[in-house]
Amino acid sequence: SQQGEEDPQALSIQEGENATMNCSYKTSINNLQWYRQNSGRGLVHLILIRSNEREKHSGRLRVTLDTSKKSSSLLITASRAADTASYFCATLPGEGAQKLVFGQGTRLTINP
């Protein structure tokens, strides 16, 4: 079963705007990760946030984690056409676990 549920399933915005994607999960986690997938390619790791962290930044990416609500959000600021891709959250359920559980993804389209 899918641990992560992402919202929205698809998002279309204008270049320069900010994009926000959300991920909810069901069980306790060790960490939560976000991946990007360009069309026809494999997934690429973007950012990881540990269960004891609330916010993390990497370049134009900002990730928040609310363990009380079992949810996370990924914010991409000042979007570019090259950000067009699918974005997946993945959870690592528990310390020592070696299997990530992926959500179904959000398809992001940046319009020029």
Partner 1 sequence: DAGITQSPRHKVTETGTPVTLRCHQTENHRYMYWYRQDPGHGLRLIHYSYGVKDTDKGEVSDGYSVSRSKTEDFLLTLESATSSQTSVYFCATGGGTQNIQYFGAGTRLSVL
Q: Which residues would be at the binding site for partner 1 (CB under 8 A)?
A: 1-2, 4, 31, 33, 40-45, 48, 88, 90, 92, 95, 97-105
Query: At its nearest, how many Å lie between partner 1 and the CB of residue 98?
Result: 6
Asked if residue 18 lies in contact with residue 74, where contact means CB atoms within 8 angstroms, the answer is: no
Nearer to partner 1, 10 or 78 (CB): 10
Query: At its nearest, how many Å lie between partner 1 and the CB of residue 78?
Result: 26
SS3 content of the chain, % helix, strand, coil (to 5): 5, 55, 45
Phi, psi of 81 (to 5 degrees): -55, -35
Query: At its nearest, how many Å lie between partner 1 and the CB of residue 73?
Result: 18
